[in-house]
Amino acid sequence: MGRLTDFATYLASRVSILTDAQNTLLALQAKYETFYQEVNAIRERELGQITRLVGDADELPGWLAEALEQARLAAEKEFDAKLQRLKTERDEAAIEAEKTRARSTEDEREIRAKNQDLDQKEEALKERSSRLARRIEAYNWQIREMGSGFGFFKNLFAMRRLTTEREAIEEEQAAVTAKIESLRAEWARRESEYGKREKGRKDRWLDEKLRAAALTSKLEVLTAARFRIVAQSAVERALSSRKVRPDEPKPGDPPCPRCQSSNSGTSHFCRMCARQLKEDRPDLEGSLEEFAELDHHHRRFSEGMRACQQIIALVKGILCGFQAFQKSVQSMIDSERRHGLSALEVDVPPAALEYGRNLEEFARIVRADRTHHPKEFGDQTRGFAATVFTESRLEQFFEALGQELSRRAKAQWG
């Protein structure tokens, strides 16, 4: 029977397989993304060319004229709805900016009124402090006069009374001084809090003003370009509603000079990397033919990219599950060493071993022929994942591992 360290080694081997598969998938995704961007750029170029040709044409094919009429109404409705949403956002931003400015003005008025009240209280206290200081000075003068010469003995009791009265006045002045300092501290606190509030309002006001200005600029640009945008959107809708499937490659058809993928002899663009295989046709009929092919590739690439992203996310999730299990096993190994426990004897359950071999098969699929189209690759990996990497089967796999560990630990360690 194996040891706990052998169990950990098995988990590490599964993690290694998944990590390699994930890295391969990420590299494939980067390559597919490059090709997809090229397909998208060429498609946009052809769309712009067709839009100009449609605008200049005296007569259009019947199917296109009918499709354009329906598409134009939908495009106008969608565009105008978008403009209205932007106008609403712009107006809301402007209103919020004005509310922020108004709150700032009101707060400033309130803080000034409060500060004026504090100023008046401080001035009154300062005047009171001055009067007390003058009284103290008068007491000091009387005490000095009484205490000069032999008058000290004669006026001793009177001087004590005056001293007591002076001390009472000094205490009162100290209390007044403390109130003045308290008022000044209150003023400083209010100013500090006001400053913080004002800074926050200024930041919010600036954000809303900038947002309103940006939306205004966007509205101006879109409004000026309304005719062109609606026209191109209508053309795109009309053309995309016409699904055309290009011819599939046959044995003997020449490969793409860039990626070596096979393509039909009638293809205008490489089905894999969007490399233009024939001279661009500037006429409307030829452009429609080219766009139909590009639109087909664009849809397939989009589906393939989504499938690739989904499988990457799935692999990442499975990998996280293995890594979490690894930590648990490592914690048990650490406990063995720390507490001097006997080496736990445990094997990976046969059912788990059998399921774990699926990871090797998945890695083989991922490492297979790189000339696969992302849609074909996505269908293949997604099909495998749909039957093998299901939530229930993954849960059974990890539960089998965990239950075996618990059973053996209880039997051996108690």
* Residues 94-143 pLDDT 10s: 999 999 888 888 877 777 777 666 667 767 767 776 776 676 576 566 65
Per-residue pLDDT reduced to its tens digit, 272-305: 777 888 888 889 988 998 999 989 888 888 888 8
Res 157: pLDDT: 46
Look up residue 30 and give its two tokens: 């980067």
SS3 255: strand
Q: How far apart are CA 163 and CA 402, in angstroms?
A: 90
Least confident residue range of 15-24, 113-122, 217-226, 344-353: 113-122
* 382 vs 156, higher pLDDT: 382
> Are 100 and 263 in contact, with CB atoms under 8 Å apart?
no
Residue 357 has pLDDT above 60, yes or no: yes
Res 413: pLDDT: 82
Q: Across residues 41-49, what is the average pLDDT? A: 90
Residues in a beta bridge with 3: 345
Residue 146 has pLDDT above 70, yes or no: no
Res 389: pLDDT: 93
Res 367: pLDDT: 85
Residue 144 has pLDDT above 80, yes or no: no
Place of tokens 């087909």: 296
Residue 76 has pLDDT above 90, yes or no: yes
Q: Across residues 317-346, what is the average pLDDT? A: 90
- Number of residues assigned to the chain: 414
Q: Across residues 342-357, what is the average pLDDT? A: 91
Residue 160 has pLDDT above 70, yes or no: no
Q: How far apart are CA 233 and CA 47, in angstroms?
A: 9
- Angle at which helix 4-56 crosses helix 284-339, to 10 degrees, equals 160
Residue 165 has pLDDT above 50, yes or no: yes
- How far from chain centre, in Å, is Cα 367? 32
Q: How far apart are CA 364 and CA 261, in angstroms?
A: 21
Q: How far apart are CA 387 and CA 376, in angstroms?
A: 17
State the pLDDT confidence band at 13, using cuts at 50, 70 and 90. very high
- CA distances to 48, 68, 74 from 52, in Å: 6, 14, 20
Closest CA to 378 of 304, 273, 301, 271: 304
CA angle 258, 379, 266 (to 5 degrees): 40
Q: Across residues 148-171, what is the average pLDDT? A: 55
Res 178: pLDDT: 77
| Per-chain mean pLDDT for the chain | 84
SS3 259: coil
Q: Name the residue ranges covered by the structural domains of the chain.
A: 4-69+264-409, 97-222
- How far from chain centre, in Å, is Cα 158? 83
Residue 166 has pLDDT above 70, yes or no: no
Look up residue 393 and give its two tokens: 């089967």
> Are 247 and 267 in contact, with CB atoms under 8 Å apart?
yes
Q: How far apart are CA 380 and CA 373, in angstroms?
A: 11
Q: Across residues 231-257, what is the average pLDDT? A: 87
Res 370: pLDDT: 60
Res 153: pLDDT: 43
Res 94: pLDDT: 93
Residue 401 has pLDDT above 60, yes or no: yes
* String of DSSP letters for 292-315: HHHHHHHHHHHHHHHHHHHHHHHH
> Are 102 and 228 in contact, with CB atoms under 8 Å apart?
no
Res 243: pLDDT: 80
Res 155: pLDDT: 46
Residue 384 has pLDDT above 90, yes or no: no
Residue 246 has pLDDT above 90, yes or no: no
* 360 vs 170, higher pLDDT: 360
- How far from chain centre, in Å, is Cα 386? 29
Q: Across residues 229-239, what is the average pLDDT? A: 92
Per-residue pLDDT reduced to its tens digit, 171-220: 766 776 777 677 677 777 777 887 888 888 888 989 999 999 999 999 99
